Structure 1
Amino acid sequence: MVDHSPEQERTLRIKTHLGVSADGFISSADGRPAFLSMPTFDPGQSHGYPEYIADCGAVVMGRTTFEPALGAPSWPWPGLRVFVLTSRPLPSGTPSDVVAAAKPAELLDLMRQADFPGDVDLVGGQRTIDAFRGIGALDVLGIVTLPILLGEGTRLTPPASDPQFLRLDSTRTFPDGAVEQVYRLAAPVS
């Protein structure tokens, strides 16, 4: 974990670690994350997730990603601060320490004010990724290209989204043939 002393200026990094099919879909037509289409996927254990999440002290997501967690057998983010981008009140049963805001810039300010060590894992889908990218707050785009063609579903970026240059930081290959690429977002394409 990253340790921040009070004297140190806090640098907040928002990053992703998401599965993308070889044909560019982050979820299947029925809304299941692309990772779940892989027979080798072990939630919380495979495709480099343990190393990735070890440096995170918080997660941020949209409401569509958050709501299923409330009915899960166990809370998916133990020990992590949780932030939700939503314009509606959070549903009953939401833990009291979950923070929500309607606008990405407002939620970003709340994350900066919160006391947690490490980075922020952006768990959300296409709209949430695009919302934080749109305000220049997505720092690291980590994608795991999965050796599967889904044919249809939700693409990583919405139609007509602004082009964005990326700078490759690292790659690695997993035993099932998946390839992780970690990019830093560079200047928008002009």
Structure 2
Amino acid sequence: MEIKTHLFASIDGYLSTPEGWPVQLAMPTFDPRGSHGLPEFLAGCRGAVMGRNTFLPALGAPQWPWPGLRVFVLTSTPLPEGTPEDVVTASDPERLLELMRGAGLDGDVHLVGGQRTLDAFVGIGAVAELGIITVPRFMGGGMRLSIDGSAVRSWELRSTHPFPDGCVKHVYTPA
């Protein structure tokens, strides 16, 4: 089991628009179920990990966003009523990583986001692959890819893949 990302970021480093929407929604060609290599990426995943703020909107969604994936949430606050019983939570990344490893997953875990969850798992050296799809837009504001004050970390470029709409996927591994 490895933790991997498939994040979208604007060329000026934002994960979201100034209004708080995911940056990929600025691309008219984005299809949440079938574009930008997401189906191929998810084919190898058996779990998804995220923070509370990423998880909560799923509870009111018309469709569960992670069908077939075991869901893990990094949170220090209990999740609300209506949370599926098989969702696993922990308040620190080390403990949640132990729970993911103990879940017997036969595939990888998709680190969905957001920036604090990404920073927490990068901070403990648990992210095996950082996949970032660069969206050819300047957002000028929103949620940045990293938290101010994050530790400097080095990554090695493993591959790039351009998409017809100008997006480019960069895959990095820890240096």
Instruction: Report the TM-score when normalising by structure 1.
Output: 0.90
**Residue number in structure 2 paired with 1:103:** 92
Of residues 10, 16, 22, the one that matches 1:27 is 16
Identity of aligned residues (%): 60
Report what 2:57 is aligned to: 68
Deviation (angstroms), 1:118 = 0.4
**SS at 1:184's partner residue?**
strand
Matched, 1:49 2:42: no
**Unmatched tracts of structure 1, length 5 or more:** 1-11
Residues paired across the two proteins, number: 175
Q: How far 1:30 moved relative to its partner?
A: 2.0
CA–CA separation in structure 2 for the residues paired with 1:117 and 1:30: 37
Match in the other structure for 2:159? 170
* Equivalent residue, structure 2, for 1:142: 131
Task: Give the TM-score normalised by structure 2.
Answer: 0.98
Task: Work out the CA distance in 2 between the residues paired with 1:165 and 1:134.
Answer: 12
Amino acid across the alignment from 2:107: G
Root-mean-square deviation (Å): 0.8
Alignment partners' CA distance in 2, 1:108 and 1:146: 30
Partner of residue 5, structure 1:
none
Q: CA deviation at 1:33?
A: 1.1
Aligned-residue offset at 1:115: 2.1
How far the C-alpha of 1:96 sits from its partner, in A, is: 0.6
Q: Aligned equivalents of 1:101 and 1:124: distance in 2? A: 15
Between structure 1 and structure 2, the one with the greater Rg is 1
